[in-house]
Structure 1
Amino acid sequence: MTRRREMIKIKAPPEWGIEPVPEKHRILGFLDYFALWSSLGVGLLVLLAGTLLVPGLGLGRALLAIVVGTAIGNLLLALAGVVGSDHAIPTMVMLRPVLGIRGSYLPTILNIVQLIGWGAFEVIVMAEAANTISQTLFGFSNYLLWALFFAAWCTLLAVGGPLVVVRQWLEKFAIWPVYGITIYLTWYLFSHHDIGALLRQAGTGELPFWLAVDLVVAMP
Structure 2
Amino acid sequence: MPKRFEIRAPPEWGIEPVPKEHKILRGIDLFVLWSSLGVGLLVLVAGSLLVPGLSLIDAFVVSLIGSLIGSALLAAAGIIGSEYSIPTMVSLRPILGKSGSYIPTALNVIQLIGWTAFELMIMGAAAANISGPILGSYTRIFWTIIFAIWCAALAIGGPLVFVRKWLERVAIWLVYLSTIWITLQVLTRPETWSLFMKPGDGTLPMLLALDLV
Give the TM-score, by structure 2 length: 0.84
CA contact (8 A) 1:134 1:140 kept: no
Matches of 2:31 and 2:160 in 1, distance apart? 14
Matched, 1:146 2:143: yes
- Which string of whole-angstrom CA distances, capped at 9 and with x for unpartnered residues, describes residues 157-212 of structure 1? 22333332222112222222221222122222222135553222111111111111
Greater shift in the superposed pair: 195-204 or 106-115 = 195-204
The counterpart of 2:73, out of the listed 59, 73, 76, is: 76
| Worse overlay, 84-93 or 65-74 | 84-93
Corresponding residue to 1:156 among 153, 158, 165: 153
CA distance in 2, matches of 1:87, 1:204: 48
Q: Residues 35 and 166 of structure 1 are in contact (CA less than 8 Å); yes or no, is this contact kept in structure 2?
A: no
The Cα offsets for residues 127-179 of structure 1, whole Å up to 9 and x where unpaired, read as: 1111222226xx34533332222112112222333332222112222222221
Q: Which runs of 5+ in 1 are unaligned?
A: 1-12
TM superposition shift of 1:58? 1.3
| 4+ runs deviating over 6 angstroms | none
CA distance in 1, matches of 2:130, 2:101: 43
Match of 1:16 in 2: 14
1:75-129 deviations in Å (ceiling 9; x for gaps): 0001111211221211111112222333323222211111110011111111111
Q: Which amino acid aligns with 2:129?
A: T
What residue number does 2:177 align with? 180
Sequence identity percentage: 53
Deviation readout 1:31-68 (Å, 9 max, x if unpaired)? 22212222222200000100111001111111111011
What residue in structure 2 maps to residue 93 of structure 1? 90
Stretches of structure 2 that go unaligned for 5 or more consecutive residues are 1-10
Kept in 1: contact 2:53–2:203 (CA 8 A) = yes
What is the RMSD computed on CA atoms of the aligned residues? 2.2
> Is 1:32–1:166's contact at 8 Å kept on the other side of the alignment?
no
Tell me the distance in 1 between the aligned counterparts of 2:144 and 2:83: 38
CA distance in 1, matches of 2:140, 2:180: 28
Letter in 2 for 1:46: V
Distance 1:42 1:95, change over 3 A: same
Cα distance in structure 2, aligned partners of 1:42 and 1:86: 27
Distance 1:95 1:171 in 2: 29
Residue from 36, 39, 51 that aligns with 1:39: 36
